[in-house]
Amino acid sequence: MILMSFKKIMKIFYKILSKVVYLLIPFFSKLLILMNLNSRVVNQLNRLRFNSNHGDNYSVIVSQLLNEYKLTALDVGAQGGFNGDIFPKKYNDFFKPIMVEPLKNESNILINENYKVIQKGLWSSNCKRTLHILKDRTGSSSFYMPDENTFDLYDIKKKNYSLFNVSSTSEVDCTTIKDSLNGLEVKYLDFLKIDTQGSELEILKGLGEYVPLAIKLEVQIIPMYKNVPNWGELINYLYKLNYMTCEWSEIGKHATRSPAEMDMLLVPNFLTDAGKKLILSREKEFSSLMIILGQIKLLKLISKKLNFSSNSIVNNLKDKFFQ
């Protein structure tokens, strides 16, 4: 009876609290708008959530799991060097990065920084493609033409449209991930990052026998470039390859209530036989990547379901991500 009474009291308390919070929302919303902090506060809280596991240093655990093995990472859209905020740079030494940069001046910079560089574009086949270069917006060059009709959906001011003017074009020799990595005698691809302003689907079609343990994509929900495949087509293609989405976070401003562009992280779908087999075949590499990427709770769940040999290590990890 006492327990039931306590439950009823708590139920009434939460109902009253929810009504109070609901009544206060307009007041706090107006206050945040007045201070120009509304979206900034939300974005900052989201960043804190997604980076909540990055404060701890798991280098000792990762070293124990990898035992001198270096994770092979393919960085497609590599201007600025490897790992520009994907995970803490303290983990960079666990990777053997291969950079993809078709523009000679940019690729030479990477070579001078001692990166291994593929000096071609990537596509679904060996071909030539026209690269549209935007000198006033670093990192926005694309095999597709910018689409001015969608700029306002990205909350881009009319005066800034000129930043997307194509300054020049370049005929680029393209190859596939499969042919590139075969040529470099790479056996396994552990981590794949693609940020190519719309070419993600075509690049993934050239994977061949390579099956990354984690894929990081920049995905345009509303295409900023003409004739870019629908993002649903991209995600469906990856789901058919036995991948599942485990994280997405919005990029930049947008006029819509949902993000116009997102960073997405995908891992093998452990609920399918093919995904399960892939994870178990490279269990320690997978666990290391999940720790580095901050996916602690999901790693613990997968480890338990698939009965990892490293369960004792994984079970001691603490997840700080807050819902």
SS3 content of the chain, % helix, strand, coil (to 5): 45, 20, 40
What is the full DSSP assignment across 208-240?
A: TT---SEEEEEEESS-SBTTPPPHHHHHHHHHH
Q: What angle do CA 206, 207, 209 make, to 5 degrees?
A: 130
Strand 214-220 with 243-250, pairing: unpaired
CB atoms within 10 A of CB 140: 16
Helix, strand or coil, per DSSP, at residue 260: coil
Distance CA 8, CA 15 (A): 11
CB atoms within 10 A of CB 190: 24
* CA 252 to chain centroid: 14
pLDDT (tens digit, 0 to 9) for every residue of the chain, 323 residues total? 555 566 677 667 767 766 665 566 566 556 655 555 555 556 666 666 666 667 788 999 999 999 999 999 999 987 778 887 788 899 999 999 999 999 888 889 999 999 999 999 999 999 999 999 998 887 789 999 999 999 999 999 999 999 999 999 999 999 999 999 999 999 999 999 999 999 999 999 999 999 999 999 999 999 999 999 999 999 999 999 999 999 998 888 899 989 999 999 999 999 999 999 999 999 999 999 999 999 999 999 999 999 999 888 888 888 776 55
Distance CA 115, CA 139 (A): 18
Kindly list the domain boundaries of the chain, sorted by start residue.
2-36, 57-314
Helix, strand or coil, per DSSP, at residue 310: coil
Distance CA 191, CA 97 (A): 9
Q: How far is CA 228 from CA 6, 172, 193, 201, in A?
A: 57, 18, 18, 9
Strand 95-100 with 71-76, pairing: parallel
Distance CA 246, CA 234 (A): 15
The CATH code of domain 57-314 reads: 3.40.50.150
Distance CA 227, CA 216 (A): 22
pLDDT of residue 311: 85
